[in-house]
Amino acid sequence: MDTKKTLKSLAVGSVLSLAILGHAGAETTFRFAEATPNRGARADALQYFADQLESQSGGDMKLDIHWGGALLKYSAILGGVSSGTADMGSVLAAYEPQKMRALSVGDIPVPQSDSWVGMRAMYELMTTNEQLQQEFEKNEVVYVTNYTTSPMQFECAGDVRIEKLEDFAGKKVRASSIYAKILDEVGANMVNFIYSEVYQALDTGLVDCSGGYLYAMQAFKTPEVTTSVALMNWGQIAGFAMVMNKWTWDDLTREQQELLREVGSEMVDFYAERVIADNQEVIEKLPTGELGNEVEVIEWSDENRAELFDESDKYVKAWIEDMNEAGLDGQAIWDEYQSLLNKYQTELDENGYPWARS
């Protein structure tokens, strides 16, 4: 008997013994670690996943969601799911850049910034590419489905207006990941702090601009202290996934595994519809003063957006090299990801969103 697997199975925090999962009529509840509060589009999507899983399994599979970091904070979720403290959880590649290098491909800024396109491409890549699946298994987790932050925009205070990349030069800016590196290279003065402090930082002048997401602007009420939003659609953070403990997954029947993935796929469409609608509502409300100040929305031209992605090339190469050094075929994975982005962008252009089709 595999002692390591036995110990891992015993550690998993399911309500009922995993040994009875395959039996007809057996019921199990998965302990789920979620670091954010139970509000907003993504929380609705996670609850949708839980409700659909319970309904479509006939009550055999349920989630016990621990919201707001009550069980594990973001930085601890991967380790917690891996060890069995939680059965499932939401993980960000940015918190575990080496362990989650496979997932980090979704964090590289690409022109296809649509939320549905990004999540669909990531879902197909992560559920079909064997190299990436093995990377997850090395960390004793299995990929279930994908989230996204939606496109990156920049909100600014005072008389600051950002119309092109060069406008960031000399400005005090908060951003993260590759976005921060690129802005630093074009002359921005980078300031680092957590997103919950953005309102105060913009209000006091600690920063001139901050990178964020339209739905978050409404949630954190930052339009009360900003005067303009640069609608850049600068990629998205799609290195953001739902994962399950590997030993929990292995103890499920094939039908249960397939149902988890199917519900995960359905959640992608549900979440994309919600977050896209929420973001469009914010765009429409910003200039009216309904959210705070009358905030100018500055739409970037295609030419100015292209400059953003020209700056990403070196980071694409660095990601490919990192994957190669880890024993993977980085170029092949990147090419497959690009192909999938183009596939779903073409589908969107030709057929529209799935929820809007007749």
Distances 130 to 93, 213, 265, 291, 329 between C-alpha atoms, Å: 18, 32, 18, 46, 11
The answer to whether residue 20 scores a pLDDT higher than 80 is: no
Pinpoint the residues of the chain covered by CATH 3.40.190.170. Answer: 3-148+238-276, 153-236+281-350
The answer to whether residue 14 scores a pLDDT higher than 50 is: no
The answer to whether residue 10 scores a pLDDT higher than 50 is: no
The answer to whether residue 303 scores a pLDDT higher than 90 is: yes
Residue 3: per-residue pLDDT: 46
The mean of the pLDDT values for the chain is 92
Summarised one tens digit per residue, pLDDT across range 121-164 is 999 999 999 999 999 999 999 999 999 999 999 999 999 999 99
The answer to whether residue 313 scores a pLDDT higher than 80 is: yes
Residue 26: per-residue pLDDT: 66
Q: Judge: domain 153-236+281-350, CATH 3.10.310.10.
A: no
- Distance between CA 179 and CA 286 in Å, rounded? 24
CATH code for 3-148+238-276?
3.40.190.170
Under 8 Å between Cβ of 233 and 297: no
- Kindly report the pTM of this predicted structure: 0.90
Residue 193: per-residue pLDDT: 87
Closest by alpha carbon to 335, among 316, 348, 350, 351? 316
